Amino acid sequence: MKPPPVSITCTDLTLRFPVYGVDAKSLKKALARVTVGGRLGRHSGVTDVTALQGVNLKLEAGDRLGLIGHNGSGKTTLLRALSGAYEPDEGTIEVNGRIAALLDLGLGIDSSATGYENIRLRGRIAGLTSKEIDERMDEIAAFTGLGPFLAMPVKTYSQGMQGRLAFAAATAVEADVLLMDEWIAVGDAEFQKLAHKRLLKLVERAGILVLATHEAPLLKLYCNKVMKLDGGIASEIMDIRRIDELLAA
């Protein structure tokens, strides 16, 4: 059976985060609430924060969507929702294709483990089998440029070296849908150039890119569509050439 073409569809996606304050987490309060019938204290319910409100989104292969918006406007939440971590409160999210979320490069990095072990672990989390990781190991190791350091614990690495390792491991995946929170730039000038090329290749191979960033020049470079989020409410998807209208709005 041929898999359906790569796509992302969100319909009327609404996401609310219940805020469990320090208070609400206390077992005593919760128990007291049960025993006295839910009338204790002023906040008997849990406060909700609406992070996304009625977002509609339809992307197909070849779409490179840039997400813009102020801090806290819901960009990262939308990316996380697209990665499958959150269940919507209303509406649906449907993604066809293998998803790679490069949201947090540090994900699964264990600083007491060696570089090789971290590459392995990261690969396993991303869904690669041991065999696939073995096949890619040489290429990933070569790309990090860390040579013999890969056999040393990551805590002995400099910040830049850690960045190289995490980047190489995280980008060793095959993905149809690439989710990125800010264009990743790690390492020294030389490595940044290499990393840039690798990311571009990954983006080319992936059918869809969703990139959240504040930098308009980056968007103009990599994206062909743009959407603005404001307080969890999404604008319509526009052609990248109209980005200035959105920024001005």
Is residue 14 within a helix (H) or strand (E), and if so which, with residue range?
Answer: strand 7-19
Q: Which lies closer to other proteins via its Cβ, residue 125 or residue 247?
A: 125
Contact present, 196 and 164 (Cβ < 8 Å):
no
Q: Which of 208, 217, 232, 228 is nearest to 183 (CA)?
A: 217
For the segment 65-94, give every residue that binds other proteins (CB under 8 A): 80-81, 83-94
* DSSP secondary structure, 128-140, as one string: --HHHHHHHHHHH
Using alpha carbons only, give the angle 167, 171, 174 rounded to the nearest 5 degrees: 170
Cα 163 from Cα 142, distance rounded (Å):
15
- Interface with other proteins includes 30 (CB under 8 A)? yes
- Single out the segment in contact with other proteins by CB under 8 A; choices: 10-18, 156-164, 183-191, 212-220: 10-18
- Interface with other proteins includes 153 (CB under 8 A)? yes
Contact present, 99 and 82 (Cβ < 8 Å):
yes
Contact present, 202 and 178 (Cβ < 8 Å):
yes
Contact present, 14 and 53 (Cβ < 8 Å):
yes
Give me 247's structure tokens.
């920024």
Rg of the Cα atoms in the chain:
21
Residue from 117, 132, 182, 230 in contact with other proteins (CB under 8 A)? 117
CB of 192 to other proteins, least distance (A): 24
- Interface with other proteins includes 96 (CB under 8 A)? yes
Q: Which lies closer to other proteins via its Cβ, residue 5 or residue 142?
A: 5
Q: Which lies closer to other proteins via its Cβ, residue 28 or residue 39?
A: 28
Residue from 50, 54, 56, 103 in contact with other proteins (CB under 8 A)? 103
Q: Which lies closer to other proteins via its Cβ, residue 66 or residue 123?
A: 123
CB of 152 to other proteins, least distance (A): 12
- Interface with other proteins includes 110 (CB under 8 A)? yes
Give the residues lining the site for other proteins (CB under 8 A).
3-4, 14, 17-18, 20, 25-28, 30, 80-81, 83-99, 101, 103-104, 106-108, 110, 112-113, 117, 120-121, 124-125, 127, 129-130, 153, 176
